[in-house]
Chain A
Amino acid sequence: MKFGVVVFPGSNCDHDAWWAITHNLGQTAEFIWHDSESLGNVDAVILPGGFSYGDYLRCGAIAKFSRIMRAVERFAREGGLVLGICNGFQILVEAGLLPGALIRNRSLKFICRQVVLRTETDQSPFTSQLSKGRLVRMPIAHGEGCYVADARTLEELEVEERVAFRYLDNPNGSMNDIAGILNAGRNVMGLMPHPERAADPLMGSVDGLLIFESMVAALSHAR
């Protein structure tokens, strides 16, 4: 499988995602420059963490206008797998590919910490290798990870089982303890915690690999 890792100016988890895919997962990955018009022939897309365009206006607000996002939107519409991690999640929300918004943490401070998540659905190409209720450990590192949405959106997310992961001990004030969500088509996931930082035993957890392995399983199945 070939993963495409989009590089925006200011992305800084792009290498980490690439390393996790190529060295820990054993698949291939390539970087895709934000100014490209096409995603090339990748099987799945990762929008990595970082501070795209410095996050100066609002996290992800400028990245959504970059040229590559038109291709990402097309890819998502056609059913392609798109995983947005941290800043990537913020960009997906700004781009309207996922509902709701990510605002400043309740503490108003950046938080870097290992957290425990509960898997809320195994019915998705990102979580099929997990079971519902399974606890996984991976780190968060964000200043603006507090998930908010209007009541109807939240209701919809819950009823359609589109909350993928929930914090066990909510670190940032997210509504309904939400750490990650799926789009209606279940082919786009946004996740504030960093699975690519939980892909190597030396980093303290390999739970993040389960998400990437789920993606590989879904893609193999589709082939």
Chain B
Amino acid sequence: MTAITPELVAAHQLTPEEYQRIVRLLGRPPTYTELGIFSVMWSEHCSYKSSRLHLKKLPTRGPHVLQGPGENAGVIDIGDGWAAAFKIESHNHPSFIEPFQGAATGVGGILRDIFTMGARPIAVMDSLRFGPLDDPRVGARNRRILEGVVSGIAHYGNCFGVPTVGGECVFEPCYNGNPLVNVFALGVFRQDRIFYARACGVGNAVVYVGAKTGRDGIHGASMASAEFSEESKQKRPNVQVGDPFMEKLLLEACLEAMETGAIVGIQDMGAAGLTCSTCEMGSRGGTGIEIELARVPQREAGMTPYEIMLSESQERMLLVVARGREEEVFRIFRKWGLDAVAVGEVTGDGLLRVKHHGEVVAEIPSRALADEAPVYDRPRTRPLRTAPTEGPAFASQNLKADLLRLLGSGDLCDKRWIWEQYDYMVRTNTVLGPGADAAVLRIKETATSLAMALDGNGRYCYLDPRQGARLAVAECCRNVSTVGALPVAATNCLNFGNPERPEIMAQLVEAIEGMGEACAFFETPITGGNVSLYNETLGEAIYPTPVLGVVGLMKTRPPVTPAFKAEGAHVMLVGGLGACTLTEFGSSQYAKVILGELWGLPPALDMDYEKRVQAAVREIVNAGLAESAHDVSDGGLAIALAESSLEGIGAEVDLPSDMRPEFLLFHEGPSRVLISTRQPGQLERIAARYGVEALRIGETKAGTLRIRQRGRVLVDCAIEQLREPWRLGLERLLKE
């Protein structure tokens, strides 16, 4: 018997107060195995103890929401009796320690969350943040991490057979020691086939399926709940190893087994493995679970109960099967060559009871683990920021050179090198894939398509977390609206530093509140998500980086893409030219890339105007009036015009404004969408009906992009010349 010393408690990242709480809940000191169980279940990663209080401020209900937060994934009604399950999750810490496997198992984990609900995954997207690839000090490491993460995502998603259809990839020095890997997945199913992670029916069998349990990933959840230090590299064994082939078999076997009607509840074994799945299923079902660890299929000999309970070996599921119908389920798993073993049963006593060769090694009330974890109202001050309020005086020497430099910069250049490594078409539903404002997937069984986008902006949030989060919601909804879809629900991944620092806690709370306000306003309730804290290395926190995923609904039809299609179309700016001050310009890509600075505030946002712009754009696109449509965001109007021109048809535009040329071309004010059309009058009438500006700024023109301001030429550039830095930007940075 291992003695429970204060040192052992501390090594489990439990505070003395938390330990006393455990003793109180049990009425006795915990065993070593129980201590391990509590430490993972009460880790930040599993218990949300720092964020839970504030997450309640997020809107979670809406007319399309069938299942909000609290299950493995949120579920929305997509019409015709069909539903979509989706969620985003982070795998930041493992991806830093071991990029390939860290990212791969991130994909594996979120896919299991989706098919656990009974849905077949049809799309994955990734939001990635790395340190700059050309960083003089750690550029080589950043490049290695990027390459590892991308090939890990490709390896897992491609083999599993789910298309990776979009996402974002951004570079900032604050991610040098702490890259972000956020993976979104979405699946579809019939509304009458939703499965829940609940252990119901006393006497029903608890069945373990999938890969065998090994010693990998023990304390992964706790690792994800601590800052990084020099010793973190030694935690490589805490990172799990993924097997996408096994997961593909598990998917097919689970979906087939669900058809039998014998499965009462199901949960995947992700973070905290067998521990989390047993106590959460019991807690949700209001029941207990008793398991015998000797029956758990094991990869290694001599594993202790502690190790078996805390292992995070991948590709495993826990099922509750109606008593007497086990064989129906076993037969299906045998067909797919997978282990399926009854390891215990549902009990009526509300306890998680773990036995090892008949001896009880842990006996804990399920609710104590899952629902009675400590909740902290951590102290907070003002959000951390050191950036100046006012910006430097500057004047562009050459606007065209600035544009070309921006197009070749890490954040704005072509990301083809990344997404061509992903199979973005498998399952033949991808109507609009990577490189567009939003991805569009058709649902073969209905006339509906789903649009989806991921957005987040660490720079904006660092300057003002509340406003940055609101802008992320606005942009994500705008992206979905730009392809013609109505945004109906959202999922969020909140990436922040150490919440025990009051200025970081303030960032988290401000961002959650801002996101809540905007999600309520844009009617996109949050149906689930993930919080990743302690994203710090050696005391240096990342920018606060809330990432939002929005899902929208539309009728299935050929896509409207960002590219101008033919000469002679009217180029229009729905939402108008916007406005900008020097203070707001400090958050722009121009300030970052050309000036190498960050100051001031994020762009201003009028949510009411934004919402009307989005509604107008949806109507324009769905009326078939748009030949092309492209959201104006990072890099501003000049970048949007350039991006729409890259396929060869450019434009000649003249902007009726007295703004400073640098602002006019590169400010990132929201609520603007660039559209080319043959019916400008009809488009104007729709815009007028929504009370939004629709400015005719010029015409499409083959081979060239010319931008004037009241007649004076600001930029005159052959498309070939635009394309070169944009296409080669990422590869150039990777070859540094």
Contacts and interface: CB of A to CB of B under 8 A. Distances in A.
Interface of A: 9-10, 12-13, 15-16, 19-20, 23, 49-51, 53-56, 109-113, 139, 141, 143, 194, 196-197, 199-203
A216 to B, nearest CB: 20
A10 B158 contact: no
A200 B428 CA distance: 9
A190 to B, nearest CB: 19
B63 interface: no
B425 A12 contact: no
B245 A202 contact: no
13 contacts: A9-B248, A9-B249, A10-B245, A10-B248, A13-B161, A13-B426, A50-B161, A55-B159, A56-B245, A110-B158, A112-B424, A141-B426, A196-B428
Given A12-B426, A54-B243, 9 more contacts: A9-B336, A20-B428, A49-B426, A51-B161, A51-B244, A54-B245, A110-B423, A112-B424, A203-B430
B583 interface: no
A16 B245 contact: no
A18 to B, nearest CB: 10
B100 interface: no
B426 A110 contact: no
Interface string B422-447: 11111110110000000000101000
A203 B424 CA distance: 12
A49 B50 CA distance: 46
B421 A110 contact: yes
A9 B337 contact: yes
B460 to A, nearest CB: 32
B154 interface: yes
Given A54-B245, A113-B420, A202-B558, A15 B158 contact: no
Given A53-B245, A54-B243, A139-B425, A111 B420 contact: yes
6 smallest CB-CB distances across A and B, nearest first, come from A12-B161, A54-B245, A51-B159, A141-B423, A16-B428, A110-B421
Nearest to B433: A112
A144 to B, nearest CB: 12
Interface of B: 151, 154, 158-161, 243-246, 248-249, 336-337, 419-428, 430-431, 442, 444, 556, 558
A19 B428 contact: yes
Q: Looking at chain A's contact residues, is the secondary structure mostly helix, strand, loop, or mixed?
A: mixed
Contacts of A12: 159-161, 248, 426-427
A72 B364 CA distance: 56
Contact of B425 (A23, A109, A143, A203): A203
A19 B444 CA distance: 9
A92 B683 CA distance: 55
Nearest to B243: A54
B420 A112 contact: yes
A54 B244 contact: yes
B154 A110 contact: yes
B260 to A, nearest CB: 18
A27 B556 CA distance: 24
A55 B159 CA distance: 9
A54 B246 CA distance: 8
B31 to A, nearest CB: 39
Contacts of A139: 425
A197 B421 contact: no
B428 A9 contact: no
A201 B337 contact: no
A55 B245 CA distance: 9
A159 to B, nearest CB: 35
Contacts of A49: 426
Contacts of B427: 12, 15-16
A58 B583 CA distance: 58
Contacts of A10: 159, 245, 248-249
A197 to B, nearest CB: 5
Contacts of B426: 12-13, 16, 49, 141
Contacts of B243: 54
A194 B229 CA distance: 47
Contacts of B430: 203
A58 B85 CA distance: 35
B435 to A, nearest CB: 12
B425 A112 contact: yes
A8 to B, nearest CB: 11
Nearest to A52: B245
Nearest to B444: A19
Given A12-B160, A54-B159, A111 B428 contact: no
B244, B428, B431, B442: residue with the most chain A Cβ atoms closer than 10 Å = B428
Contacts of B151: 109
A15 B444 CA distance: 12
Nearest to A12: B161
B138 to A, nearest CB: 24
Nearest to B419: A112
B430 to A, nearest CB: 7
B337 A112 contact: no
A186 B420 CA distance: 33
Contacts of B159: 10, 12, 51, 54-55
Given A9-B337, A19-B444, A111 B421 contact: yes
A204 to B, nearest CB: 9
A202 B557 CA distance: 7
A139 B163 CA distance: 13
A167 to B, nearest CB: 15
Contacts of B420: 109-113
A102 to B, nearest CB: 16
